Structure 1
């Protein structure tokens, strides 16, 4: 591997970075499948709501069915976040408004009207959760690639479980591990490496998508306050829509510039890298220029498996 220009292992020019049509289409399909997966619980809730609500002979009878009161509040247009700020009377008023203004005018179709309005509010919830779906899918792909490289290299690893916030030893069956992993640790030669996602770096003053540190998980809390512990910092942008590519790059570029400036003030220069899903022609040229001038050390297109394997191998060997 070229020591000072690791990107040359998988790139020959800026053209190699550009996301092609097939990758963009596949990215949109992946997002659609993820949206359907996340929508499944809401659909099941709506079916159950319809079953229970069908016991009512008229809209007012819905008030007597205890099990569906939270769903009535949702159908009234109140999100889970909004409900936390309401008093009991506010919730009652919302349900009564739903019945008077929408369910009673629907006549014998009031149950269908109720279900439609429940799904409308849940659709907003789903839309909110999907805003960062691209980033989540990108992180999962990165995790899976990193673990694959560690596995085939015969290296053991530990990982941070998002639900328990505990570091866990590698599993023989690591299927779906990427759904819960928010940190990864392994040994490189005689030193330990710990990779943490979405961590605030005190020196920079902002959250960084990917932080690789020279420490064990047990040393993380203490050593992440020491700038020299940081080996590499990177930005990961999983949005696939070409229309938002430039905006994602501007955000990443600003974050990377802050990193370089902050560490240079104390005469440190950790490795910096960028991984993006939607990379357009002009954006690719700018990234290539930063690579050639040493502003950025490595980069890869998330949709290109060869590039991802190369940059992840580089990360594992830092």
Structure 2
């Protein structure tokens, strides 16, 4: 069984996690609390660590049933020192690890998996902000033996710039897009849990892959027909959107590289070219039809600048994705799968 329908949109939490060292307790007296290992790869994440660890401290999951494996991926800032300090002083189990041989978040995740002792391995990222009920909500579906993967929702942090508000409107980060992938559903590693037993059977991440590894591991698991991928809408992590055009272009070029790599690994369809002529046609139509329409609505308070500029920004991201796809080529080493 594979998750195929569009998942419901969660209500993003409005409150920020507590920043004290007080540990919350679970509201559920009869919950399902297996031993869990949370793996978080970190590269130059010093600025994110304080908020990240505050979010981990705020988790309602029983602290004796979870370990946090924070893997420094050869950072050049004070990430490792900060991790070691947190491990010494926090009332939760934080295990600082290092991956210095391969510069890839997937290699760092593999290092965490190898050191993990939990029966469920959970993944998120250093720039994510897990909400207090996140871990507890994420693992509940594993009470069903046929469930081998669970994806939680990824909501946006409060938007500060116009581009962040645009991406929020488009729900760029939401798992509902990846879970509805026409080739095969998958969950992004910003919010994903997998049974360790399954990783023993199908292997770990491809350590030399730099993007697309979340789709790859989910597809390998589903290809084996081992069990189902479920969606936990209430297991929410928040993530920041790209704030500048350079960051936005980099993000969509990376999506394009992922397309190319997965095409070479699985034969998925590549994104078609958007020609210069098509861009011109769509921009002319935008100027003639959409700008007057949404400008009038904006005067009436029924539209915003985001509505007016959706078409040109959409063309910008589509072109960036296409260029990323055309420039990329899967390295031979990236086909290697690590094993426990």
Q: TM-score, normalised by structure 2?
A: 0.24
- Structure of higher CA gyration radius: 1
Which structure has more helix as a fraction of its residues?
A: 1
